């Protein structure tokens, strides 16, 4: 990220300070304090969104769920399976930008049954179905950055146990 450039965290713009702005903050403690107070006010202003049953929480949840419905492009099955019934907060209400739209692409097949076997051609699922996977199989039940597979997962000459170890 380049100093002075703007990036996005979800829909929130994040601006990276320039070297000159950093220098000014180092030399002028009041300038830095004013900046920090502005950031803290901004962060604190979102707290009402997390008070379960409050107007801000309810309005934001409804707004988010309506966006999710739109991103799922009228796919009723995906809407029923993916749009949460829990309140805004933790766990995350909606995945990141582009994720839901990608699930509706014609070259994507979303399968909700558990995978019991990965084969040369694809996978077999708990519900008895078999799916051919021409490009990629993604299993998603959550994500932990510290995960290291118990069993070898090898592609070419690389084992994910070693790569992620």
Contact assessment for residue 17 and residue 1, using Cβ atoms and an 8 Å cutoff: no
Q: Where are the alpha helices (DSSP H) in the chain?
A: 19-27, 29-44, 55-71, 76-82, 99-103, 160-164
Distance CA 65, CA 81 (A): 13
Q: Are 49 and 60 in contact (CB under 8 A)?
A: yes
pLDDT value, residue 28: 92
Please name the helix (run of DSSP H) or strand (run of DSSP E) that holds residue 123, with its range, or none: strand 122-125
pLDDT in tens, 97-126: 778 888 888 888 888 888 889 888 889 999
How far from chain centre, in Å, is Cα 3? 25
Weakest-pLDDT range from 32-36, 92-96, 115-119, 149-153: 92-96
Q: Closest Cα to residue 49, out of 62, 38, 36, 35?
A: 62
Q: Which of 130-134, 135-139, 140-144, 160-164 has the lowest mean pLDDT?
A: 140-144
Comparing 150 with 145, which gets the higher pLDDT?
A: 150
Q: Which residues of 136-157 are buried (b: 16+ CB within 10 A; e: fewer)?
A: eeeeeeeeeeeeeeeeeeeeee
Q: Helix (H, G, I), strand (E, B), or coil: what is residue 9?
A: strand
* Predicted structure pTM score: 0.53
- Which pLDDT tens digit goes with each residue over 26-82? 999 898 899 889 888 888 888 888 888 889 888 888 888 888 888 888 789 889 988
- Note the residue count of the chain: 165
Confidence of residue 16 (pLDDT cuts 50, 70, 90): confident
């Amino acid at each position: 990220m380049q100093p002075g450039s703007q990036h996005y965290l979800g829909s929130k713009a994040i601006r990276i300070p320039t070297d000159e702005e950093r220098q000014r903050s180092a030399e002028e403690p009041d300038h830095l304090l004013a900046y920090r107070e502005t950031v803290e006010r901004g962060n604190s202003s979102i707290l009402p969104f997390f008070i379960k049953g409050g107007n801000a929480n309810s309005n934001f949840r409804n707004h988010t769920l309506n966006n999710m419905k739109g991103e799922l492009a009228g796919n009723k099955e995906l809407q029923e399976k993916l749009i949460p019934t829990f309140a805004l907060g933790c766990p995350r209400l909606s995945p990141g930008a582009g994720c839901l739209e990608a699930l509706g692409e014609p070259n994507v097949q979303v399968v909700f049954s558990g995978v019991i076997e990965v084969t040369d051609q694809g996978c077999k699922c708990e519900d008895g179905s078999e799916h051919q996977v021409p490009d990629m199989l993604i299993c998603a039940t959550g994500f932990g950055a510290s995960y290291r597979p118990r069993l070898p997962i090898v592609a070419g000459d690389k084992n994910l146990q070693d790569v992620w170890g």
